[in-house]
Amino acid sequence: MITIAIANQKGGVGKTTTAVNLATALAATGWRTLLVDCDPQGNASTGLGVSSGERKLSSYDVLVDDASIASAIHSTGIPKLDLVPATVDLSGAEVELVDVPHRTGRMRQALSTHSGHDICFIDCPPSLGLLTLNALCAANTLLVPLQCEFFALEGLSQLLQTVEQVRERFNPSLGIIGVALTMFDKRNRLTDQVSDDVRDCLGDLVFESVIPRNVRLSEAPSHGVPALIYDHSCRGSRAYMALARELIGRLPAERAAA
């Protein structure tokens, strides 16, 4: 199973929207897909129609109580897409894990014994705390959603430093599969400037597909479905489908063919 962490310590950059819609797109192309919600806000869970009352076991139980991934899986109603939801209990997990041995490897241990899916996305919280570290230690690679604004560039530098530290101490094989530019507004000159600066700095690491600001992307979570299902023809959905095609093209050839 390929495991991709979707992380950026800055909030409001489109992490959850990216996680939900990429997972949906991969499932639609035949990949048996798992989405693990590691954000205490639980927005990915809500965005896939799994209400808080349905979340009997969650990523909290996996991280803190050694529950298996299989026992925490909830069906999303989308063919080939399963979810390990988050609950508010997850907000206390970092404190509870402080004195636990191998506290950064809890998610990696849980995922290493899980089978039944081809690919797993981990939706991380907007921080570089223990929850995000668990995701980075468990992941084969990292996808970074980056909002097209100046302050996002500052946060990217800090994230890349954290990735290097994780490589050195916990997960030497952790890669970065790409940076996805989000909330692109072609009417804003600064958006173009930030996009150009990121591409000049990171080159081919930046995906060609750009996610635009799109009201349908914002509306979809309130209906409990991904934008790809809410309105598959809107600009945002088309952009995520293009991003998914690029992502598949960057995955190991033998796994993408499967």
Domains of the chain: which residue ranges? 2-250
Cα–Cα distance measured from residue 116 to residue 160, given in angstroms and rounded to the nearest whole number: 31
Cα–Cα distance measured from residue 5 to residue 195, given in angstroms and rounded to the nearest whole number: 22
Mean per-residue pLDDT, 153-161:
80
Percent of the chain at pLDDT > 70 equals 97
pTM of the model: 0.92
pLDDT, tens only, 22-58:
999 999 999 999 999 999 999 999 999 887 777 789 9
User: Is residue 255 within 8 Å of 177, Cβ to Cβ?
Assistant: no
For residue 100, the model assigns a pLDDT of 82
User: Is residue 141 within 8 Å of 156, Cβ to Cβ?
Assistant: no
For residue 254, the model assigns a pLDDT of 44
* Residue 193 neighbours by CB distance under 10 Å: 12
Q: DSSP characters for 80-133?
A: TEEEE---GGGGGHHHHTTTSTTGGGHHHHHHHT--S-SEEEEE--SSSSHHHH
Name the CATH topology of 2-250: Rossmann fold (3.40.50)
Place of tokens 């191998």: 102
